[in-house]
Structure formats: C-alpha cells, structure tokens
Chain A
Amino acid sequence: MTKDELYYWLLNLQNIGLKKVELLLRTFGSVEAVYEASAEEFEVFRRECCPVTLRFSTQDIHTLCTNRNPEIIKERYAKLRKSGIYFVSKEDERYPEQLRNIYDAPHALFVKGRLPQKEEKLLAIVGARECTPYGREMAKYFAGALAKEGIGIISGLARGIDTHAHEGALSSGGITYGILGCGIDICYPKENFNLYMQLQKQGGILSEYAPGTSPLAGNFPMRNRIISGLCSAILVIEAKEKSGSLITVDYGLEHGKDIYALPGKPTDLLSGGCNNLIKMGAKLVTTPKDILEDIFPNYKQRIHDFKKNNKILELKEKIVYASLCLEPKHIEEIALLTGMTIDVLVEQLLALELKGYIKQIMRNYYIVIE
C-alpha cells in the first residue's frame, strides 16, 4: 500500500480524531508502524503514553486492529479519487510548503480543485458573518484588486465577509482558496453552493476533515489555523470586539504573519475588533496598495485609486451621487441632504442605479458601488 493510502486509512477511522492520530504517529514514528502494530502494542501505548483527557479506549484499539483489510482500503481510496477528491498527506511532495512549517500542521488534506503552489503569494481575508454593506463592498473590492495582481485569496467559505472575498476574487478572474471546517464533500452554508462549485474551477477547496464530517462548531477554530498557516498575511475586514476572526489573527501572530485591518467608525460595533487590532499594531489599510507594497517590494501603482470619481453625470445626478456613501442611506435622508422632492429624487436614483453607480440594498436604502 502507498503512503497516501495508509494515511487515508488512519484518518478515516471512527472515533479516532486528529489528536489521537497525532499522538499515534509521534509514538510509533511513522504511519506504517501504526498500521503494523499489534493489539498488545496499542495496549501498552494506551496505558503508558496516553493522557486521560485523550480518552483512548480499548474500543479504539479494536477499531485500529480490525479495519485493516488492504483491499477495502484500496477500494475506498480509489472511490475517493474517482469522485474528484485528492488526498495529500504531509509526506507527499504536493503538500503545501507553507503549511509544513507550522506547529500542529494537518497530517493530510482533502482537496478539490488545485493546491496552493510553493511560490504563490497568498492573502487571507477574514471577517464577520453578519457584515454591513460597507464590509461587503470592501471585501469585494480588496479581494478583487489583490487577486487581479496575482495574489491568491484565502478564506473560509462562510457567510458574510468570507463569501464576498471569494466573490470579489472570482469576479476579477483571480485565484481563491476556500478552507472548510467540515468534510470536503459538504457545502456549508448551503446557499454558497455556486461559490463552492466555482471555487473548484478557479482555485481550490481544502479540508483536513474526512468526507462526511459535519460542520461542528469546534472544527472552525482548527480550520482557522490552516487559513493562517497557508497565507503570508491576514486582512481583517470587519470584526466585533469578540469575534471568531480574531482567532485566525491569533494563529497568524503565532505563525508570524503580517496582520492588516480595515478601519471603521468608532461607533460601529462591527469595526470594533478591527480598530482594536490597529491600536495593537496591525497595519491600517485604506487601499489595496498598502498590502501590495508589502508583498511585492518593487510594487508600482498599477491599480486605480477607487475614490476618484470620474463619472460623467448630470448636475442633479451628481448632487445625489455626492450625498451617498457606502453606508446605507434612506431616501428620506437623501431628500433632506439634497433638498429635492421625493418624485424628483427617485428619478435621479433610478437613473444612477441603472448606470450601475449606486445600488438599492433593501427597500429605499441606497449605497454607492465600485
């Protein structure tokens, strides 16, 4: 049997999770040794090497000893490959270099699509699930602009900022990777199915969990360590003061990655986490250039500054456009700001909307779009 098949065997045993696998490999030295070990050896291992908290039971020894039929293993492995899932163990040369060096690196990855290359520049974009339109537009904009420059965008395929970061990267034709907290054959959340499929074509989906693993809450912090391990820098778009995104940042600091944060207004709860990061020394970013300069030392400005407004508009449209920003404004407020009556105002708003400069994010609330 090949090494990959053996790893596949070890990682797919019931009730034997990553922690147990870790200890087994460390104690026995290699995956072959684990495969060949006898029940007595496991019993010794259980008594002498296992901390009580690991709960390595006699049932687990039974599982390890009885599920060793090479034919079944080979058959299952072939079936996995047939369904388009690659299995890459730590000892495989395709295994991402970036991950090899981190503490706690996953023993193997399940992959759909492609794997990050050794020299590839990667940036993680993380943030809140319940994001504001500001966060959404910023995630799209940053991901799009950076992906266009050849930087791979890594995120977690979750709702909110993650989704928009992937979307941004895809729409500018860049490469983007999604790291899952569940089995690779499960699309979570369901509404991201399109994204899930698209990512396999224009990037890759990675997971350390065996196919069929459901998205348990405990998996996600672990998933974050892979996100942080793969990338060379992390950009936090929107996060509350206590946010799961900050777990990724903690891993990132442990792994020695650069942390970038997008500032927000002090009154916005959803920018609290970002602003705190900036206070603690994360780099404040206002344009993608801020990040590109760090990643490519000789970077010359090639992308347009997004604030420049060179749109050709009529006077009334200009007035209306100038009163809008990335924060949703109700037509009532816009009417107050522009001094127009409602019927005149809505005509301008529709014209702008049709030109694609502004967007109605819900009934009568408008924002500008890039």
Chain B
Amino acid sequence: MDKKPVIKVRGLYKIYRVGTNKVYALNGVSFDIYKGEFVAIVGTSGSGKSTLLNMLAGLEPPTKGEISIGGKRVDKMNERQLVSFRRDNVGFIFQSYNLLNTMNGIENVAMPLMFKGVSKSVREKKAEKYLKLMGVADQAKHMPNQMSGGQQQRIGIARAMVVDPKIIFADEPTGNLDSKTTMDVLSLMQKVVREQGKTLVMVTHDNTIAGYADKRIRIVDGKIVSIEYSERGTEIEGEETEKEEISISLGGNPGENSPEKN
C-alpha cells in the first residue's frame, strides 16, 4: 500500500493521574488508516478505545504523541481550530443518537450545515437527499421522540454525512439497538463506505459487530495487540474494486504533504 494514510497516529499516550498513581489509558499507540477503509477499534470497556476515538476527533488532547488527519496535526490545534476542523472534516455517529429534541428529523440532519452558515433552503435540500439515502425520508417532519431507535440512528448517520466529511467517527453506534436493527445500521454504514467512499472509524466492544469492518484494531490496556484485515465477509470482498475507484478524491487535499515534513 503506497497510498498516503488519512489518519496517521504515532506514539500516542494518554496518562491520567489518579492521586499519586499514573493510569495509562493509551500506552504508545501507532497505526495508519487509509481512505475508504471501514475500521473498527475493538476492545473491552476500559481498554482505552473510547479515549483513542476522542483524541482522533480532537475532543481530548493527548498527553504525548502525534495525530495527523488529512495531513493536519490535530494534537497541535487549539479549541477553536478543532471546532472548525470537526465542522469541515468529521462526521459523528453517537451511541445514544443525540438528536436534538426540539428539532424534527430534517432539521437535525441539516444542523451541522446550519453551524456552517448555510441557508435554510439549501441545507434542507441536502438533508433531504441524505434522509432518502438512509431510507428515513418519511421521518423528515417527525420529532425524535416519535421515532424508533433504528430510525433515530439512521437520522444520526444522515447527519454525520451531510457535511460530506472525509472521516466519520462512530462511537458504539449499535449499542442501543436490537440485533435486527443493528444489522440494518451496520449494512448502511458499509454502504456509506462502499458507495460514498467515506472513511469510517467505529469503536465497539463486540467482536461480531467488528467483523463487519475491513480492518480491526484490537486494543487491550492501552496497547494495540493486533491489527486484522477482513478475509471472510463475502459481501465486502465483492465490492473491493469499486471501493478503490471511489477513493481517488483524497489526492487533492492541500495538507497532504505535511506528514512527510513532520
């Protein structure tokens, strides 16, 4: 693989102080994630997988180490830069959906565009497109409390995609769903990666769910114990070529060269 990684992590540490003890939430983690990959970060609770995701998304600063996303050093950004970085590059899918209860489906999807200052008519048109893609166009005018968990999470995925981000982070996206809906949502996420050429990083504790990803980064006690690539998922293999074709667009990223300099 001579492609440049979208996410490059080198020697990442996160150390919490509990009294006089040092707790290593992350203990020297290094890995690369390439464009168009569906990556699962797998680990038991307390393994540091959520901490890793938070740091990738710039929600938590690392104690030590280097995180580059699309060639930009996330660990060096201040809070304001991080906000605009997230706004332009990152989509988020939450375990508990985190839809705003005061807004209906379409408004929730359009919300990240609102933060960008896109006008109402433009953003709702775009939101509608993603609602259709996720198969929840009929929920556009419903409030979140009128929807099922699966519907809410589809809205959540649409919301993550509406800004056309380079990377989508998903924190236990199926954690609150029953097994059937879990499968629906997972196949939707696969579809996003395959058809939209997105890079998706998912955190989960469940090996079965992690099996739907192309690549699994296993974390135990803040260390990567293995990185596995998927061999079995037939539906994944069959679409591999298509995935490669879509992934060209990243080449134009202006910050692409900076990882070499660092």
Q: Do A and B come from one complex?
A: no
